[in-house]
Amino acid sequence: MKIIISQRDKKLLITFQQGDAVDSYYVDKADGFLDVLDRFIKKRKMNLTLLKKSQLKFENVGLLTERVIRAIMLGLGF
């Protein structure tokens, strides 16, 4: 699974790619990543172990945004 986070104007575009399925969400801040993650998991009815193995790709985002999202992903590992 691949998670792509990119900056579009003042919003973040978060795209989840799993095989042929692609889901995209817009959020205002990096803190909204956790809400988007919850919606994606409920929609696809998937297990958290798949998220631990996913690849993160950042495009045109700031350092703070990248660190917040990486911290959320590390927190899911516990």
Domains assigned to the chain: 2-76 (3.30.420.40)
Q: Which amino acid is at 57?
A: K
Give the strands of the sheet with 55-59, arranged side by side: 21-27, 11-18, 2-8, 55-59
The pTM of this model reads: 0.84
Mean pLDDT of 16-40: 89
pLDDT of residue 78: 66
Q: Which residue has the higher pLDDT, 48 or 71?
A: 71
In the DSSP assignment, the letter for residue 4 is E
pLDDT of residue 57: 94
Mean pLDDT of 33-55: 84
69 C-beta neighbours (distance < 10 Å), count: 22
Q: What is the dihedral of CA 68, 70, 48, 27, to 10 degrees?
A: 40
